[in-house]
Structure 1
Amino acid sequence: MTRPGPRPADPLAIPGLPDPVLLLERALEHTRPVLAALRSTARPGLLELPTPCAAWTLGELLAHMDDGLAAFDEGADGRVDVAGSPSVPSFPSLTAAVRVDALCRRSSHLLGRWSAAPPPLTRVDGVPVPTGLVALTAALEVAVHGWDVAAAVGRPAPLAPALARDLLEVAAVLVDPADRGVRFATALPPAASADASTRLLALLGRGRSRPAATNHGVRRTGEPRAS
């Protein structure tokens, strides 16, 4: 999970933002089939494949996703310790099939947790933020990392137009200029005819002209890594 950057005083009051939990559900619906397909194509060397996340192999990206889902799970209780210990310290040594199974189980559990009336505020490393903002962050990360995984194995999975449009609204709130070069790469200029999925990915530094995004996430070990 990445730490939130500077935010408006009440970002959830901005017109046009989608319902956080419903958006998270839609993001999970996009990414689950990607993970299921990955399990069925497990092969030697799969976890060493490069990804659109700079300097991360597919195995490291899956470990990051697992750690992020664990953090977002905590967020449903009103607390996230970004700098805490990873929930599955042995995850990097697991096989691709076992990793994907763990991610699928955690994603199913996550939605149930967020659907159970979480508290209005969540403390992220002690800083209170609107809980809905945490769910929106989860939706953005889940959907885009699902795209990253599909791209890494050569099975493109464009985001559905409506989902991409809603995530563009979210990214406008979540991605601060100060995040560039830290959490996200410099935005790419999309073609005038680009669809919403392409525009979202370009906004987050992903695209054909930049196969390896340089955005940085923070594992809960505190180690900065490209995500």
Structure 2
Amino acid sequence: MNFGELLERSLAYALGSVAETEPGSLGRATPCAQWDLRELLGHLDDALDALYEGVTGGRIGLFPGAGGRPDPVCDFRRRACVLLGAWAALPEDGRRVTVGDRSLDARVMAAAGAVEITVHGWDVAQACGRPRPVPDALASELLPVARCLVGDEDRGVRFAEPVDVRPGALASDRLVAFLGRRLDSSSGRGCRTSPPSL
């Protein structure tokens, strides 16, 4: 698996969703409980900050920065480009990243970030009223990553309970349903408010 490419594809998908955000829509409800669209975009921005910290400094702080940025859509686009540039400059053998008292490979961090960015890109599209399935190849690669990262202890804290999908469902539907999203609504049941989960 090419982790840089996975991160790039997740960002491309999320950027496509964010591009649908219209002025005046930032108060809309999202699939994330207690977050409106502005807060969700702020969380995405915090996730990109955390990934950037990990790539450039080898450490991720446990608490997100201050929110309330004046243009969260523009900020997300800019930070996505900065993150990809930093990843491209990372040595081929990668690096270790410290999160709290744990150390992990930067590639694992990138895979976790790709899951978070992609699913929140899906959330943004739902909130904008223009649902966009995650591309099949991307969703198929992210689903086993999500299954490794999200355990029972995360349910009700960072993610809602998994949602059943019909047999033969698209990889996109299986991915978002595993992460607690309902495919038929933006009912605020998909995620829980918490710091970036990297």
Q: Does 1:171 align with 2:134?
A: no
TM-score (norm 1): 0.79
2-side partners of 1:179 and 1:121: how far apart?
Answer: 24
Displacement, 1:34?
A: 1.6
> In structure 2, what is the equivalent of residue 128 of structure 1?
103
Give yes or no for contact 2:160–2:191 (8 Å, CA) kept in 1.
Answer: yes
Q: Is 2:60 aligned against 1:80?
A: yes
- Tell me the equivalent position of 2:81: 108
CA distance in 1, matches of 2:184, 2:74: 33
CA contact (8 A) 2:173 2:183 kept: no
Q: 1:212 aligns with which of 167, 171, 188?
A: 188
Unaligned runs of 5+ in 1: 1-17
Does the CA contact (< 8 Å) of 1:82 and 1:219 recur in 2?
yes
- Match 1:99 to one of 69, 72, 79: 72
Q: CA deviation at 1:183?
A: 1.4
RMSD between superposed Cα atoms in Å: 1.9
Tell me the equivalent position of 1:54: 33
Contact 2:31–2:191 (Cα < 8 Å) also in 1? no
Does the CA contact (< 8 Å) of 2:182 and 2:190 recur in 1? no
Q: Distance in 2 between matches of 1:150 and 1:175?
A: 23
2:90 to 84, 97, 117: 117
Distance 1:126 1:153, change over 3 A: same
Paired residue secondary structure (1:37): coil
What per-residue deviation string (whole Å, max 9, x for no partner) do you get for residues 156-205 of structure 1?
11101000100102112111121111111110111003110001011000
C-alpha contact (below 8 Å) 1:206/1:213 kept by paired residues:
yes
- CA shift digits 1:115-140 (9 cap, x unpaired): 22254210002321121111011101
Residue pair 1:181, 1:214 contacting (<8 A) in 2 also:
no
| Length, aligned pairs only | 193
Deviates more, 1:177-186 or 1:146-155: 177-186
Q: Distance in 1 between matches of 2:190 and 2:133?
A: 20
Which letter does structure 2 place at the counterpart of 1:110?
L
Whole-Å separation in 1 of the counterparts to 2:194 and 2:133? 25
The aligned residue for residue 46 of structure 2 is: 67
TM-score by length of 2: 0.90
**Corresponding residue of 1:37:** 20
CA distance in 2, matches of 1:136, 1:193: 25
SS at match of 2:188: coil
Q: Which runs of 5+ in 2 are unaligned?
A: none
SS in 2 for 1:129: strand
